[in-house]
Amino acid sequence: MTDLEYLKDNYNYNPDSGVFTYKKINKRSRFSIGDVAGYKRHDGYILIVVNKRQRLAHRMAWLIERGSLQDAQIDHRDVNPSNNSISNLRLADNSLNGMNVGIKKNNSSGVKGVSWDKTRSLWMARVQINGKQINLGRFSCMEQAKLVACEARERLHKEFCNHG
In the chain, where the domains are located: 3-92, 96-160
Q: Note down pLDDT in tens along the chain; length 164 residues.
A: 678 888 999 999 999 999 999 998 888 888 889 999 999 999 999 999 988 899 999 999 999 999 887 777 999 999 999 999 999 999 998 888 888 888 888 888 999 999 999 999 999 999 998 889 999 999 999 999 999 999 999 999 988 988 88
Q: Could you tell me if 73 and 97 are in contact, meaning their C-beta atoms sit under 8 angstroms apart?
A: yes
Superfamily of domain 96-160: AP2/ERF domain (3.30.730.10)
Judge residue 33's burial from the number of C-beta atoms within 10 Å of its C-beta, 0-12 exposed, 13-18 middle, 19 or more buried. Answer: exposed
Q: 35 to each of 20, 52, 76, how far by Cα in Å?
A: 8, 18, 24
pLDDT at residue 42 in the model: 96
Nearby residues of 75 by Cβ (< 8 Å), 6 or more positions away: 89, 90, 91, 92, 96, 97, 100, 160
pLDDT at residue 70 in the model: 74
Q: 63 to each of 14, 67, 148, how far by Cα in Å?
A: 13, 5, 39
pLDDT at residue 41 in the model: 96
pLDDT at residue 1 in the model: 61
pLDDT at residue 98 in the model: 85
Same fold, 3-92 and 96-160: no
Q: What is the DSSP string of 34-85?
A: TPBP-EE-TTS-EEEEETTEEEEHHHHHHHHHHS--TT-EEEETTS-TT---
pLDDT at residue 121 in the model: 96
Name the residue among 54, 51, 44, 50 with its Cα closest to residue 84: 44
3-92 CATH pick, 3.90.75.20, 3.20.19.10, 3.40.1390.10, 3.30.365.10: 3.90.75.20
